[in-house]
């Protein structure tokens, strides 16, 4: 299968579904990662948006290397993602680029504006991935991907419907998150805690809920005639 993890910023994929992606990769699936924004305000230590954007792209490629993932950067500005014809076309093209069987992305209930906008844009274009009369650089798909929403940072207002046991992958997940060195001091300033400890704690909490040590939680996107099959998530 082709698996597309579609995040708003570099580091979102590693934080919320890296363990699941490792399981997909272990079973022979092909991993694609798309990032809607450059995360180009995510630092108080760099002189310009261009500088931090370039740094974060390098960090993302390093983090994705263990997955042998193909990565696409849409490069919209951080905290300015909106639903426009331009963004819809870019999102639709990115989905067609990956030709996914499964898409993993943010919950629409996420309080981050970029996270919620990314989720909304994906659901808005999903039903036209196969439409020939909605052209993009990539050709229309001939299948409808399943869509799952991953957890919200901190777990607020998110009740997983299904869990993926990532216990064997937890240290690899933390190593991937640690590739985003530009975000360590930045995030710890908000969290008032060690960044990696907070990521471990969320996975531990989801594991506690479902009876394993570490887990990632998901909710399926549902629409009339379109309900994701939970069996498409890795065991």
Task: Please state, rounded to an integer, the average pLDDT across all residues of the chain.
Answer: 94
Q: 71-118 pLDDT, tens per residue?
A: 999 999 999 999 999 999 999 999 999 999 999 999 999 999 999 999
Using pLDDT thresholds of 50, 70 and 90, give the confidence band for residue 224: confident
Contacts of residue 221, Cβ cutoff 8 Å, sequence gap at least 6: 123, 126, 146, 147, 148, 149, 228
% of the chain surpassing 70 pLDDT: 94
Using pLDDT thresholds of 50, 70 and 90, give the confidence band for residue 193: low
User: Is the C-alpha dihedral spanning 65, 165, 10, 176 positive or negative?
Assistant: negative
pTM: 0.95
Q: 31-66 pLDDT, tens per residue?
A: 999 999 998 876 666 668 899 899 999 999 999 999
Go through the domains of the chain in sequence order and give each one's CATH number: 2-223 (3.40.50.10320)
pLDDT computed for residue 191 by the predictor: 59
pLDDT computed for residue 194 by the predictor: 82
**Angle (nearest 5°) at CA 67 between 158 and 57:** 80
């Amino acid at each position: 299968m082709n698996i597309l993890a579609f995040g708003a910023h570099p580091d979102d994929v590693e934080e919320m579904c890296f363990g699941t992606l490792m399981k997909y990769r272990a079973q022979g699936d092909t991993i694609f990662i798309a990032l809607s924004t450059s995360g180009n305000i995510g630092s108080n230590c760099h002189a310009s948006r261009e500088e931090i954007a370039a740094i974060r792209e390098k960090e993302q490629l390093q983090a994705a290397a263990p997955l042998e993932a193909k990565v696409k950067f849409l490069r919209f500005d951080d905290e300015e993602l909106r639903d426009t014809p331009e963004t819809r076309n870019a999102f639709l093209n990115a989905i067609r680029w990956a030709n996914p069987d499964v898409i993993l992305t943010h919950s629409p209930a996420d309080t981050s504006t970029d996270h919620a906008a990314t989720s909304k844009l994906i659901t808005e274009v999903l039903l036209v991935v196969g439409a020939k009369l909605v052209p993009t650089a990539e050709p229309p798909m001939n299948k409808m991907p399943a869509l799952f929403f991953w957890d919200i940072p901190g777990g607020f207002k998110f009740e997983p419907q299904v869990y993926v046991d990532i216990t064997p992958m937890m240290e690899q997940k933390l190593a991937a998150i640690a590739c985003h060195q530009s975000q360590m001091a930045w995030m710890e300033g908000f969290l008032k805690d060690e960044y990696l400890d907070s990521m471990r704690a969320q996975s531990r909490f989801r594991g506690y809920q479902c009876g394993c040590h570490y887990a990632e939680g998901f909710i399926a996107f549902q629409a009339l005639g379109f309900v994701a099959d939970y069996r498409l998530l890795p065991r």
